[in-house]
Amino acid sequence: MKKYFNHIFKRTKQKNRTKNKEVYSASPSGFQNFLLEIGELSRFTADFFRETFSYPYEIKEFLKQSSRMGLSTLPLISITAFIMGLVLTLQSRPVLVDFGAESWLPGMISVSIVREIGPVITALICSGKIASGIGAELGSMRVTEQIDAMEVSGTNPVKYLVVTRVLATTFMVPILVFYSDAISFYGSYVAVNMHGFISIKLFIAQAFETLHYFDIIPATIKTFFFGFAIGIIGCYKGYYSNNGTEGVGRAANSAVVISSLVIFIIDLIAVQLSEMIHIFSI
Amino acid sequence: MEQKHNISDNSNEYVIEIKHLQKSFNGRMILSDINLKVKKSENVVVLGKSGIGKSVLIKCIVGLIHPDKGSVKVFGKEVSRMNRKELDEIRTRVGFIFQGNALYDSMSVRENLEFPLRRNKIISDKKEIDKLVYEVLESVGLKDTVDKMPAELSGGMKKRIGLARTLILKPEIILYDEPTTGLDPLTSREISKLINKIQNIYQASSIIITHDLECAKRTSNRVLILQDGVFYAEGTFDELKKNDDSFVQSFFVTV
């Protein structure tokens, strides 16, 4: 009898082992993949912070990446920001004219640009230009074993490639947003002058009259987060790219898609938080 | 064709010691029981079919891949137990020549060669760095490529620059991952000669992963055949060539 139960027990154990094996060897579902991705990204972000504050500091590479990213996106941001300011003014003007509030135009445009449109549009442009560039660059370095070569030569690739790029995007995106806001103001000034004359001095005075610290500070803080998200997602996707050239393309593409989505999520959270802070401060 | 002789058995100084190494990927066992000892200034050639785990083996030695089980000792120290700093220190003493050369695309030849020196802060004097750069470029016969970009170089030139970048740190061990793959027979022969020259000048120990039998014959002190996750056969090139085993013979049919 004892022998029989032992036999049954063994068989059940074996069956369960096989079952478990099947469960573990089965490819993860979409949701499991999503959770795995979040976990990997969190670990990657932790590595970034650990390497950021440890010596030696890659200042030369950081400056090189910052200037490269800034200069490469400058023409695109200039054109987009000018058109953005111009179109926004032209579209808003008829409504304000109907209400006899045309003089509010510079103030209204400045609030829209500084608080929302400037940061978000600039971050999206940077996402398209910079995140895809980082994803493709690190991805091709990964598949051609350049990252491995760096590692075996005694260089920490996270410190040299990732930290410098993420810090560069974190500090360059806010600067680019300020620049983009200024160009948008100029576009708006041109649009206002299409239907009449207003001096640049008066335009600036009216634009800044409606702006408060409460408009500028939260909008500036969120641009640092936009820059960080662009850098870390671009680097993560490129650093862990695989499957040859196809993987490089996929890394660049998903870097843009995910960082754009994250920009909107950060924007939503930032708006909610700033509203809450505003309510409590009144 | 020139052939190499055995390294004296009196030399008991092992620079690499691998015991019962195991590595699997996605449930598939690649290396099941690898045992290997490499002596100082010995050239060991590893032969085997594609995808059998030859590159995995040498990547375990430099800590690019972590073994599932077993011990990998380099200069008497266990690689898996090293912290980042210790690993970086060991890596400056172990050179790795990648199959695809892995030259940094965005840097010129000079910057590629300077990179490991500057990064490891071995030398900071500009004149001394320049001197070393020209010295290693001369040793691989490519002194006039110093300001060229990797994209401007031929396959053979890229291999040599990859070798020069490794040599600049004067490694005591060099791991070659298919050093002659994709090269014409003449350039392959030159690379093989260069491997021997490096062994003679730097007294470096090497593990050479290759499919090129001529390269194996020219460069090896010892040849190992990897099959089913273990070393199936071991000996000098001539010993293995004369071996009666049909599988071993299948590697030498073309020679």
In angstroms, what CA-CA distances link A116 with A61, A178, A269, B172, B237? 32, 12, 13, 59, 72
Sign of the dihedral through C-alpha B101, B103, B108, B114: negative
pLDDT digits (tens, 9 = 90+) for B154-175: 888 898 899 889 888 888 999 9
Which residues on B lie below 8 Å from A155 (Cβ)?
88, 115-116, 119-120
Q: Which two tokens stand for residue A249?
A: 């393309």
For A198-202, the CB contacts below 8 A with 24+ separation are: A198/A106
- Report CB contact under 8 Å: B104, A144: no
- Report CB contact under 8 Å: A140, B105: yes
pLDDT at B5: 52
Predicted TM-score (pTM) of this structure: 0.83
pLDDT at A221: 94
| Residue B14, strand partner residues | B39
The CA distance from B66 to A151, in Å, is 14
Q: Which two tokens stand for residue A239?
A: 């650093």
Question: Is residue A154 less than 8 Å (CB to CB) from chain B?
Answer: yes
- Report CB contact under 8 Å: B98, A149: yes
Ramachandran angles phi, psi of B224, nearest 5°: -125, 140
| Residue B106, strand partner residues | none
Distance from CA of B64 to the nearest CA of A (A): 7
Q: For residues A172 and A122, is the Cβ–Cβ distance under 8 A?
A: no
- Report CB contact under 8 Å: A154, B120: yes
pLDDT at residue A20 is higher than 70:
no
- Report CB contact under 8 Å: B104, A146: yes
pLDDT at A1: 46
| Residue B29, strand partner residues | B24
Amino acid at B185: P
Burial class (CB in 10 A: 0-12, 13-18, 19+), A68: middle
The CA distance from A114 to B4, in Å, is 74
Q: What spatial distance separates the first Cα and last Cα of chain A, rounded to whole Å?
A: 80
Distance from CA of B116 to the nearest CA of A (A): 6
Give the closest residue to B210 by CA, choosing from B251, B180, B241, B166. Answer: B180
Q: Which two tokens stand for residue B63?
A: 């800590």
pLDDT at B23: 93
Q: Which two tokens stand for residue B110?
A: 């000079």
- Report CB contact under 8 Å: B64, A154: no
Question: Is residue A44 less than 8 Å (CB to CB) from chain B?
Answer: no
Q: Which two tokens stand for residue B254?
A: 């073309």
Give the closest residue to A74 by CA, choosing from A146, A177, A159. Answer: A177
Q: Supply the ipTM of this predicted assembly.
A: 0.85
pLDDT digits (tens, 9 = 90+) for B3-44: 555 554 444 588 999 999 999 998 889 999 999 999 988 999
- In chain A, which ranges are continuous DSSP H helix? 2-25, 30-52, 59-98, 105-112, 118-126, 132-143, 146-152, 157, 164-194, 200-209, 213-239, 244-281
Give the distance from CA A187 to its chain's centroid: 25
pLDDT digits (tens, 9 = 90+) for A157-196: 999 999 999 999 999 999 999 999 999 999 999 998 988 8
Question: Is residue A245 less than 8 Å (CB to CB) from chain B?
Answer: no
